[in-house]
Amino acid sequence: KLKLVVFGGDGGTYDIGLQSLSGALERGHDFLYVCYDNEGYMNTGGQRSGGTPFGANTETEPAGFDSFGKTRQRKDLMEIVKAHNIKYLAQANVAYPHDLAMKAKKALETKGPSFLLVLQPCTNLWKFPTSMYVRYGKLATETNFWPLYEIENGNYVINYVNKKPKAIEEFLKGQGRFKHLFETKNKKVIKEIQKTVDENWKKLKKISSI
């Protein structure tokens, strides 16, 4: 008996392939789906996807005189998948390999469909030096922009709690896709991003058992 493992990018998961993923989850096929989330369509030049963050500069929703970049919040893919009542799904980050390995093991041992949403920094669209790869991965979680948590049989468990989370500016600065947000006219967008991060973290803590 085989356990199928499927890999898809954020564009092919949040957007293009959501219909087929939803069908497979609803039918209860025995497979693990891994979303390789680098927050944009990288294979075709860096267009925005449903997973692209609010305010990011992309090829199809660029920042400029009349725009600050992407104007909509990214989809909550974890909640979309959870709505299919699968037994195990988790949000992970390649900068935390031990946490990722633990979740992959659980997902592979789960009978029926399971799902991993994995943050994967991308130097091409995010526009930062390759040497900073792990740093930006960690900052995504240290700012609560990308919490590490799992949902097992409907129960939420947070896997990493930073008692003194860093300000979202620490994650945004140094990334070319967010450079424009540090202009005076766009600083209100950073405040909006921080507000959303704080609200989402508060909501996650409220429904989590840990």
**What mean pLDDT value characterizes the chain?**
95
Q: Which of 158, 149, 144, 134 is nearest to 193 (CA)?
A: 144
pLDDT-derived band of residue 1, with 50, 70 and 90 as boundaries?
confident
Query: Which residues, listed in sequence order, are joined to residue 5 by a DSSP beta bridge?
Result: 32
Any idea what DSSP says for residue 53?
Answer: P
Calculated CA dihedral for residues 135, 107, 160, 136, nearest 10 degrees: 10
Asked whether residue 208 carries a pLDDT value surpassing 70, the answer given is: yes
The model's pLDDT over 23-78, given as tens digits with 9 standing for 90+, comes to 999 999 999 999 999 999 988 888 999 999 999 999 999 999 889 999 999 999 99
**pTM (2 decimals)?**
0.95
Structure tokens at 51: 């997973």
Asked whether residue 20 carries a pLDDT value surpassing 90, the answer given is: yes
pLDDT-derived band of residue 207, with 50, 70 and 90 as boundaries?
very high
pLDDT-derived band of residue 210, with 50, 70 and 90 as boundaries?
low
The model's pLDDT over 82-130, given as tens digits with 9 standing for 90+, comes to 999 999 999 999 999 999 999 999 999 999 999 999 999 999 889 999 9
Surface-to-core class of residue 98, CB atoms within 10 Å of its CB (0-12 exposed, 13-18 middle, 19+ buried): exposed
Q: How many CB atoms lie within 10 A of CB 27?
A: 10
Is residue 89 within 8 A of residue 150, CB to CB? The reply is yes
Q: Which of 15, 53, 37 is nearest to 143 (CA)?
A: 53
pLDDT of residue 146: 98
Is residue 99 within 8 A of residue 138, CB to CB? The reply is no
Is residue 122 within 8 A of residue 39, CB to CB? The reply is yes
Percent of the chain with pLDDT over 70: 100
* Helix, strand, coil percent values for the chain (each to nearest 5): 40, 20, 40
Is residue 182 within 8 A of residue 173, CB to CB? The reply is yes
